[in-house]
Structure 1
Amino acid sequence: MTSSDVEWKETDVPPPPAFLESRAIPIDMPSYTTLKFSIDPATIAITNDGVVRYVVIASRAGGATNALYEGVRCSSEEVRTYARFNNGKWDEATNLEWKRYRLIPTSYVTRLTYQGLCRGHAPQLSVQETVQLLRKPVREVE
């Protein structure tokens, strides 16, 4: 942990923004993943504390849609869930601790950060740049 991590403090978190599944951008996931994940570009915010907040939508073919209001700290590779959308309403998350997203198997958050939320250990310079990258992610040569 660096001295900047010790001194870091998250800004006040606004309430979850409204989202629309119809404008969501798909997150590139492995073909074996049964859930489809997408992010509503209108919900992305990059804050002064270095957190990128957004609404991610999880859906199954022909099934119910759920959403999460989350924040990512690119600098520490952590994610935090603020609220969950179920049955037409937002419920505040009960466990508000930061978690390392690279330790979560098949994490959509890891994919999302590579697809455009982060540039290394920092957020993108603007929401507009983030949305452009999410729409046309740079593919690594395998």
Structure 2
Amino acid sequence: MRPLRWLRLAMGACLAVSIPALAQYADLDRADWKEDTAPPPPEYSSRGLIEIEMPRSASVKMGVDPKTIAINHATGIVRYVVVARGPSAVNASYEGIRCATGEYKVYARQTEGNPWSPSGEDDWKPMRGQSGVVVSHPYRLARDGICIGTGVRQTVDDMVRELRSGNRSLYY
């Protein structure tokens, strides 16, 4: 078989496999999309966090607790707890990402030793602003393993493996 024909066949096979996987999320930005009720924030630990690469921030370390990552395939939302550790405080945030629309949402916040407080933010926000500026940690989580393009990875194990590997999604 000639190399060009082989390349066309391989590209066609990849396209045939990827379209159905992404199509299941393609309509999640419809006007009739409804978010499910977010479960309460899960328990988390500051041990075993997957570090989030944060440029420009030497004093604050951020990480996601892999045991808190939860996927709702029906809505396309991935929820998780991210922990920020600084020289004088440890704070946590319970958040969600919608890969289909490139948005994130903060459900609740917690300062060390205190109960969770609702964020008071009801709207989904873009991870990329109009000028291309990104909201650092949700964008990095989406790019580094939660999302695959505009789709959600199929399992939490897949997400954790990708987050730990440092690979980058081609679409974010």
**TM-score, scaled to structure 2:** 0.74
In our comparison, the structure showing a higher alpha carbon Rg is: 2
**Corresponding position of 2:164:** 135
Q: Which of 139, 143, 161 matches 1:114?
A: 143
Q: Percent identity?
A: 39
Shift of 1:66: 0.4
Q: Which of 65, 83, 99 matches 2:125?
A: 99
Secondary structure in 2 aligned to 1:22? coil
Question: Aligned ranges for residues 1-142 of structure 1 at < 5 Å?
Answer: 4-30=29-55, 32-34=56-58, 35-47=60-72, 48-60=74-86, 62-88=87-113, 89-103=115-129, 105=134, 107-138=136-167
Shift of 1:136: 0.8
Measured in 2, the distance between the counterparts of 1:44 and 1:105 equals 22
Residues 33/106 of structure 1: CA separation in 2 closer, same or farther (3 Å cut) = farther
Give the aligned residue type for 1:45.
A
Aligned residues: 137
Give the aligned residue type for 2:149.
G
The structure richer in strand per residue is 1
Measured in 1, the distance between the counterparts of 2:50 and 2:136 equals 17
Shift of 1:56: 0.5
**TM-score, scaled to structure 1:** 0.89
Residues 3/10 of structure 1: CA separation in 2 closer, same or farther (3 Å cut) = closer
Residues 127/3 of structure 1: CA separation in 2 closer, same or farther (3 Å cut) = closer
Instruction: Please provide the CA RMSD for this pair.
Output: 1.8
Q: Which structure 1 segments of 5+ residues have no match?
A: none
Shift of 1:63: 2.0
The structure richer in helix per residue is 2
**Corresponding position of 2:17:** none
Q: Which structure 2 segments of 5+ residues have no match?
A: 1-26
Give the aligned residue type for 2:118.
E
